[in-house]
Amino acid sequence: MRLLLIVIDGMAFHVVEKIRNKLPTINELISKGYFGKLESVFPSLTPIALASLVTGNTPKVNGVTAPKIFVKDKPLSNELSAYSSDPLKTDPLWVYLSKNGYNTLVTSSPQALPDKWNMENSALFDPYKSKMKKCSDGRVISEGENKVLGKVWLVERSSNKFYVAIPSPNGDKIIELEKNEWSLPITVKGKCGKEEFNAITILHARENDIYISPIAFDNKRWGNKPQLMERIWNEISTVYGMIMDGDHVSLHKDIITFEEYMETVKRTFTFFYNYTKYLLDNVKWDFALTYLPVVDNVQHLLYGLDDEKAWEYIVQSYLMADEFIKMHLDYADLVIVASDHGIEKVKKKVFINKLLEKINVLSLNEKDEIDWSRTKAYYGGGGQIRINLKGREDRGIVSLKEFPKLVRYIVRNLENITDGDEKIFTSIYASESPAPDREGDIKIGGIKDYYGVSSAVKKDMEVIEDVIPYKMNSGEHGYFRKNDLYGIIIAKYKQLELNRTETIQQAKIIDIAPTILKLFNINNIKMEGRPILKLLEPYESSRRIY
């Protein structure tokens, strides 16, 4: 049997129920297959939820408890990242499948790399690792000389045309663009830190300047199959570009317009569609996990806006996902579509690190960066605030004697955050003694409806800010335990068409991995999740077909 697990980031159960008649592929799968609500874990944030999906275990057991994972003897500035296999304490399902002789393929998953398992029959990729910190953000260049990736880009303008001289792998190259024109993907040469790489970007000529889309690097860090990575780079990345999310960072910074943002979302879809198809066609696999981020991209930005235009864009993102799913259907005997969480509306954003800065326990330097040598506490996401404790954190500055007093001080200030008469946080947990690895000393357990939380911090921001429509995120997930907690599960056997929808009830995201292992007759793995019996019944009764 061949089995495909398609992960659609952020596809919400309540939204699918509302618009399924507009989604031809999804509606057909639901009508003749299996469909249900899929309960995520808490907090229902993408890397945390996907770690639970692939391991069959909750965050406390699998080790991925927050976006930044605090452990002893590491500084707060450089904790373990949830977007890595490093913090995993239990193995993901592709490890068990590969050990049992099955060929596995992962096209994109936060915990796929680095490949610490090193099994020949397991092809692991995470294209997001082609982005490099401080080098991949979108930017703008104007007439004259511009420094990009340590190289000079020369821009000249004549009437309605721009001419851009860029350093490419084969020497300088001239790109000619009409005003309002988007370029084809272009390969450039440049430095990130001390390393020099080839990179991919796309240009957009505007009224007075040129936008450079987020840059992906041929750094050989985004997969465990070097020769195949080279082919993907040459046959996919250079042809379709390698944009992997709508460029919300540039939108928030006023670098691009909403229309440009939506163009980066479309190009994200184009990359993932063609990249995924290429891998399905060119890798030997029995089990494959694929991924698409565009629904989450659009919902984050627009879901909280109460206007018809925003809703139409959200439906468009679901239609992209519908097309992505359709592409998969002829590849496998069983297709399972799952999502990691849902979505809820937010009207205001709470910046917790800004509060910590305001009460003088977090410090910013003149570059608007955190000064870790003077920072006593930090919010790293996932509801966790960690004290910069001597003897626990590398370069910690808070003494054990000061610890309980500091915790009480921070908790009191969190409790006093109000907007009107009501408190923002519905539950806060703290301990008088320092937390162990992977936990915060202060934990935010819930937040009032319509308020999102962020770890961002700058000097020129407030602790609470109104969401600016079409610029700031108006949809969030993670802490509400409402519609944001529930994604979807859809399953369809290729050779089995039902006369009606078979409803899957009480399914949890941790049930996906044990279900898949059971379908491959791997039964001796201890996981917190339990196989979804309804999906096992048709396979058990007609196993000879596969």
Residue 179 structure tokens: 């005003």
Sign of CA dihedral 305, 292, 39, 490: positive
- Write down the residue that tokens 């292992």 correspond to: 517
Which element (helix H / strand E) includes 54?
helix 46-55
Cβ contact 337:16 at 8 Å: no
| pTM for the predicted model, two decimal places | 0.96
The Cα–Cα gap between 470 and 260 comes to 12
Tally of CA atoms within 13 A in the half-sphere of 431 that contains its CB: 13
The beta-strand segments (E) located in 342-485 are: 344-351, 377-379, 384-387, 418-419, 422-423, 425-430, 442-447, 450-454, 464-466, 475-476
Q: What is the sign, positive or negative, of the torsion defined by CA atoms of 507, 508, 514, 516? A: positive
149 Rama class: left (phi>0) / alpha (psi -120 to 50) / beta: left
**Cα torsion 102, 106, 109, 113: sign:** positive
CB 373 within 8 A of CB 41: no
Tallying the residues shown for the chain, one arrives at 546
Surface-to-core class of residue 178, CB atoms within 10 Å of its CB (0-12 exposed, 13-18 middle, 19+ buried) = exposed
Q: pLDDT by residue for the chain (546 residues), tens digit each? A: 899 999 999 999 999 999 999 999 999 999 999 999 999 999 999 999 999 999 999 999 999 999 999 999 999 999 999 999 999 999 999 999 999 999 999 999 999 999 999 999 999 999 999 999 999 999 999 999 999 999 999 999 998 899 999 999 988 899 999 999 999 999 999 999 999 999 999 999 999 999 999 999 999 999 999 999 999 999 999 999 999 999 999 999 999 999 999 999 999 999 999 999 999 999 999 999 999 999 999 999 999 999 999 999 999 999 999 999 999 999 999 999 999 999 999 999 999 999 999 999 999 999 999 999 999 999 999 999 999 999 999 999 999 999 999 999 999 999 999 998 889 999 999 988 999 999 999 999 999 999 999 999 999 999 999 999 999 999 999 999 999 999 999 999 998 988 889 999 999 999 999 999 999 999 999 999 999 999 998 877 655 444
**Residues 3-70+82-128+244-343+483-545, CATH architecture:** 3-Layer(aba) Sandwich (3.40)
How many Å apart are CA 14 and CA 7, to the nearest integer? 17
pLDDT of residue 544: 45
Distance CA 60, CA 546 (A): 37
Distance CA 417, CA 133 (A): 33
Q: Is 254 helix (H, G, I), strand (E, B) or coil?
A: coil
Three-state DSSP class for residue 484: helix
**CA 541 to CA 11: how far, in whole Å?**
31
Q: In the chain, what are the domain boundaries?
A: 3-70+82-128+244-343+483-545, 139-212, 347-476
Contact 356, 410 (CB under 8 A): yes
Report the DSSP pairing between strands 344-351 and 450-454. parallel
Characterize 272-282 residue by residue with b for buried, 16 or more Cβ atoms within 10 angstroms of its Cβ, and e for exposed. Answer: bbbbbbbbbee
At 507 the three-state DSSP class reads strand
